Structure 1
Amino acid sequence: MTDSLASEAKSLFKSIRVVLAVSGVIALIAGIVLLVWPAKSAVIVTGIFATYLVIAGLVYIGLGIFSRVKGGWARVGHIVLGLVYIVAGVIAFANLGVAAATLALVVVIFIGISWIVDGVVALSLLGKDGSRVWTLLYALLSIIAGIVVLFSPLYAAAVLWLVLGISLVVLGIVQIVRAITLGKDAKEFVASAKADSAL
């Protein structure tokens, strides 16, 4: 292995290490923020979502106005959709606290419904699946979890936010450790490559 190849490998390892470290630090900070300030972080997430709605609305309106390829109704549809997005974004910005609570409820209710549907689908596959006991267990747990979430959406939203925060902290720490250990692995790799090229 030549010195240029060893330096390229070292550079690649360094780039990967930086990406792992930066993403780990961001995940760790985000997780801590979610755990320490859950209400404020929910408002920030809602603000980001509201910003997305306004920007997406402007893009759709631009597509509707300036598109020469689309037909008349498609252009009108894009403009109407853009206006709906902008109105939703402005309403969310008007009261971010209420919008955050509403968004959390909608997401949690969607999760509850999707778990129930997933359980029903698993039950419908019961006769076709080889492991009936596991399929039945999964289906029942999924349906029960979905019902519990639907009957206590605020509690479920709080638990989901807590789990998200803890997950981000753990994943951030793991990413940082990976970045550190990758640095050691890179040094060993480059040293062994140089030793091999000397032979």
Structure 2
Amino acid sequence: ATGKQYAQIRHGAPFDLFFAADSRRPELLESEGFTQPGSRFTYALGKLVLWSPLPAYVDPQGKTLEQGDFKHLAMANPRLAPYGKAAREVLQALGLWQRLQPRTVRGENIGQAFQFVKSGNAELGLVAWSQIKRAGPPAPGSHWAVPTLLYSPIEQQAVVLKPSKATREFAAFVRSNEVKALIRDSGYDLP
């Protein structure tokens, strides 16, 4: 999880690069002097979806949330995870935050929230589009692509922590057109 890695870096973890699921932690590391100055960049923009592995369970307009015909809604913890913060913003924008609290199951991060749904422990979840899109056809089931105007941008940033020729070259490679195409094919938008 981004927050845990941030804490590890602040306590001396031997990482050369940090790829975060948000922009806040790279900005903090930069302001705290843990990064190579000027190395921070946005590599992807995350997208949120409402997903169920069950076909036709989630309607294309997202009315499934309002209808409430489910026992559990998985999401990442909004206090810890950028995708959880976005999920909370969506539910607040739809006026459903308070009503759905008793049915919400929170994962420590977006990966755990996805596993709750994939395993059947929750019927549906607000997860990352990249988790169901992958680099091919989407995972089986049904989904609603949450309009991005319902949540703050999930700006995912990277930063060089320990300067070296290899880290500079890898950071440049991540910004290449070849990698940008892979990022887009994997379910992200580009900055």
Q: Same fold (TM over 0.5)?
A: no
The structure carrying a bigger helix percent of its residues is 1
* TM-score interval (norm. to shorter): under 0.3
TM-score (ref. length: structure 2): 0.21
The structure carrying a bigger strand percent of its residues is 2
- Bigger CA radius of gyration: 1
